[in-house]
């Protein structure tokens, strides 16, 4: 092995992309760079009130080039010359419509500003009706094509988003040849791919989101899709049959990208995967330890030996796929649709007066107003945490339900809404914040309970990501609620580090991902242990949380799900309900949703 060998890990998150250069021999980070997506920061192409969240491929391309070049500039030419591999992780399911060459439609003339020609972000829930149709349609077949995705298909996933896009925009439908996950497209881009059917699709995305399984010889049969909606006819043949684990090469860096980045065409590009899957590896996941990547949402990964899992299927999770995390092991995925987003929502509510009124002040100037807003915005969550931590835990505190962006697991239902209960005149901001934090911890416990109940024991917890690193208050409450210790990984960039480990394996520096983890892992720097007395109180409050959640879900289930807007080509206006009856049902659901929030 050479004296110095380096690899690059690229991690596409919801708000930004970050790249790291890592010494493949010892895991030392030698350079890092972050690029916030500028179009996303401006709120372009998104309609939060309609659950529409889209991202432009140019944000991804520009961020890829900027962060890698910035890292190489920090590290110097000697390191650049010793880079052997690149691997990429992304959010998911975040797919996009492409032409036959594999080019996202938003990069083609006439589609540059069309949100339906862009990547449909994981948190986009405009396809809730399509997901419901898939779930109902699957019951008609003797083979259960949903058995490896927890038995429930989600609006956050591949096929529901494709069907919604085809139904929504005629121009996009006519131009769409295939449908591609973000984690598969970036390696295809870096290797200079020109034909979409030559793209190497990841087993991670294929198995967890696209209904791909070895037992089905690939995707479900053509009849499954064409009988669901004729718009899906023949799409299966334009997708893929084979899927690859991320320890395999997707190809070599193309001459164009080698020149743009200042690297060699000898650099190997690995098959991509989702962020939490590579993050679990970066965080040194162990069998039966739930690896929790905690950011805007959570993705919870668990690996177990195939010969021990055997035919066990866990219902209501986001799938279980051999090799989706570590080749040779079963990878199981769960998670929460809103975690950090829950705290960000409350912060936004509290900042509303400052954001909208401070600039109109006749007491301070505009520059001071802006600086004051920035200062308070940065301090508000830490201060809330300090004050909330002073509150004694009791059964009489406020309760909350954490479904502000629907429920991912267990049992996906993106129509569910959040709630706050037990409010009184003494319910101030710290008390409400404490209830929201507790709700996210209770939501996490629901996931652990589901694994335990269905024969896959959770023996430990590993915390990864920004929330895990930055909030002792939340992590201590997590340990108390779970009544289990939780170890916090040392690296602040576990997803990018995991991608680097896969890059080292794909490039042949290590023969197995486990070997890369052992050599490049950074270890743990904190551990939170449960307090026995607080755990007893949380156990009683957890029962009340479950009862409140059941009530909320029951109330919403009595009303037909709303017609998600059939957006016109601009994607800016909702379609009116078709009948008076539908309008009445929508008004009823809106009223219920408002009351529950």
CB contact burial 202-241 (16+ within 10 A = b; e otherwise): bbbbbbbbbbbbeeeebbbeeebbeebeeebeebbeebbe
Same-domain pairing of 426 and 366: yes
Q: Which helix (H) or strand (E) holds 301?
A: strand 298-305
Residue 576 predicted with pLDDT over 90 = no
Same-domain pairing of 151 and 54: yes
Is 60 within the bounds of a domain?
yes
Per-residue pLDDT tens digits for 280-331: 999 999 999 999 999 889 999 999 999 999 999 999 999 999 999 999 999 9
Same-domain pairing of 120 and 203: yes
What is the C-alpha separation between 403 and 342, in angstroms, rounded?
A: 9
Same-domain pairing of 79 and 217: yes
Same-domain pairing of 138 and 222: yes
Residue 271 predicted with pLDDT over 80 = yes
Same-domain pairing of 114 and 77: yes
For residues 559-572, average pLDDT: 40
Is 589 within the bounds of a domain?
yes
For residues 250-255, average pLDDT: 98
Same-domain pairing of 517 and 388: no
Is 48 within the bounds of a domain?
yes
The count of domains in the chain is 3
What average pLDDT is seen over the chain?
Answer: 92
Is 13 within the bounds of a domain?
yes
Structural domain boundaries, residue 231: 6-283+491-522
User: Rounded to a whole number, what is the largest CA-CA distance in the chain?
Assistant: 74
What is the C-alpha separation between 108 and 315, in angstroms, rounded?
A: 41
Is 61 within the bounds of a domain?
yes
> Among the three residues 522, 545, 573, which one is the final residue of a domain in this structure?
522
Is 304 within the bounds of a domain?
no
Residue 586 predicted with pLDDT over 90 = no
The CATH number of the domain where 451 resides is what? 3.30.420.40
Is 306 within the bounds of a domain?
no
Sign of CA dihedral 211, 213, 215, 220: positive
Say which range, 104-108, 162-166, 367-371, has the weakest mean pLDDT: 367-371
Per-residue pLDDT tens digits for 6-39: 999 999 999 999 999 999 999 999 999 999 999 9
Model confidence at 558, pLDDT cuts 50, 70, 90, reads low
Is 314 within the bounds of a domain?
no
What pLDDT score does 557 carry?
76
For residues 385-391, average pLDDT: 97
Residue 588 predicted with pLDDT over 60 = no
Same-domain pairing of 222 and 242: yes
Please indicate, yes or no, whether the overall pTM of this predicted structure exceeds 0.75.
Answer: yes
Residue 594 predicted with pLDDT over 60 = no
For residues 430-434, average pLDDT: 98
Beta carbons of 513 and 327 less than 8 angstroms apart: yes
Model confidence at 142, pLDDT cuts 50, 70, 90, reads very high
Same-domain pairing of 32 and 93: yes
For residues 510-523, average pLDDT: 96
What is the C-alpha separation between 47 and 506, in angstroms, rounded?
A: 39
Same-domain pairing of 448 and 510: no
For residues 551-566, average pLDDT: 64
For residues 349-353, average pLDDT: 95
Model confidence at 2, pLDDT cuts 50, 70, 90, reads low
Same-domain pairing of 369 and 464: yes
Same-domain pairing of 160 and 223: yes
What pLDDT score does 295 carry?
87
What pLDDT score does 359 carry?
83
């Amino acid at each position: 092995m050479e004296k110095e060998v380096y690899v690059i890990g690229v991690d596409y998150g919801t708000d930004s992309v970050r790249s790291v250069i890592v010494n493949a021999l010892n895991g030392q980070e030698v350079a890092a760079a972050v690029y916030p997506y500028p179009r996303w920061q401006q709120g372009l192409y998104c309609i939060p009130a309609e659950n529409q969240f889209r991202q432009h491929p140019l944000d991804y391309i520009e961020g890829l080039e900027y962060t890698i070049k910035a890292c190489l500039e920090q590290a110097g030419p000697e390191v650049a010359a010793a880079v052997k591999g690149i691997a990429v992780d992304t959010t998911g399911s975040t797919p996009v419509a492409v032409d036959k060459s594999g080019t996202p439609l938003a990069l083609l003339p006439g589609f540059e500003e069309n949100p339906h020609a862009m990547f449909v972000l994981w948190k986009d829930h405009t396809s809730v009706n399509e997901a419901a149709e898939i779930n109902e349609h699957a019951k008609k077949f003797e083979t259960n094509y949903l058995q490896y995705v927890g038995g429930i298909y989600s609006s956050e996933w591949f096929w529901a988003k494709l069907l919604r896009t085809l139904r929504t925009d005629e121009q996009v439908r006519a131009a769409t040849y295939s449908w591609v996950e973000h984690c598969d497209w970036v390696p295809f881009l870096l290797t200079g791919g020109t034909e979409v059917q030559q793209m190497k699709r990841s087993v991670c995305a294929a198995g967890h989101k696209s209904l791909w399984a070895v037992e089905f010889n690939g995707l479900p049969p053509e009849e499954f899709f064409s009988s669901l909606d004729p718009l899906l006819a023949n799409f299966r043949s334009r997708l893929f049959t084979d899927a690859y684990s991320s320890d395999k090469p997707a190809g070599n860096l193309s001459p164009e990208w080698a020149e743009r980045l200042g690297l060699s065409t000898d650099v190997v590009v690995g098959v991509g995967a989702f962020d939490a899957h590579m993050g679990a590896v970066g965080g040194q996941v162990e069998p039966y330890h739930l690896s929790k990547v905690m950011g805007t949402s959570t993705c919870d990964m668990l690996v177990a030996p195939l010969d021990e899992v055997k035919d066990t299927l866990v219902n209501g999770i986001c799938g279980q796929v051999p090799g989706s995390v570590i080749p040779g092991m079963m990878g199981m995925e769960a998670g929460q649709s809103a975690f950090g987003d829950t705290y960000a929502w409350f912060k936004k509510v509290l900042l509303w007066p400052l954001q909208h009124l401070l600039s109109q002040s006749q007491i301070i100037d505009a520059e001071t107003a802006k600086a004051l807003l920035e200062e308070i915005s940065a301090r508000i969550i830490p201060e809330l945490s300090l004050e909330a931590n002073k509150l004694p835990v009791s059964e009489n505190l406020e309760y909350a339900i954490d479904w502000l962006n629907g429920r991912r697991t267990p049992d996906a239902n993106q129509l569910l809404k959040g709630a706050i209960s037990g409010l009184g005149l003494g319910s101030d901001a710290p008390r409400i914040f404490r209830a929201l934090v507790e709700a996210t911890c209770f939501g996490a416990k629901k996931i652990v309970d589901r694994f335990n109940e269905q024969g896959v024991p959770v023996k430990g917890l590993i915390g990864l990501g920004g929330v895990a690193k930055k909030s002792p208050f939340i992590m201590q409450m997590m340990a108390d609620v779970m009544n289990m210790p939780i170890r916090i990984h040392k690296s602040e960039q576990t997803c990018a580090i995991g991608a680097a480990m896969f890059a080292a394996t794909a490039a042949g520096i290590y023969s197995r991902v486990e070997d890369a983890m052992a050599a490049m892992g950074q270890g743990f720097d904190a551990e939170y242990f449960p307090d026995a007395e607080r755990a007893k109180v949380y156990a009683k409050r957890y029962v009340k949380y479950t009862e409140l959640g059941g009530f909320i879900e029951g109330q919403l289930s009595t009303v037909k799900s709303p017609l998600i807007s059939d957006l016109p080509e601009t994607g800016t206006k909702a379609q009116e309900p078709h009948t008076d009856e539908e309008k009445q049902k929508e008004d009823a659901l809106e009223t219920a949703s408002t009351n529950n929030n």
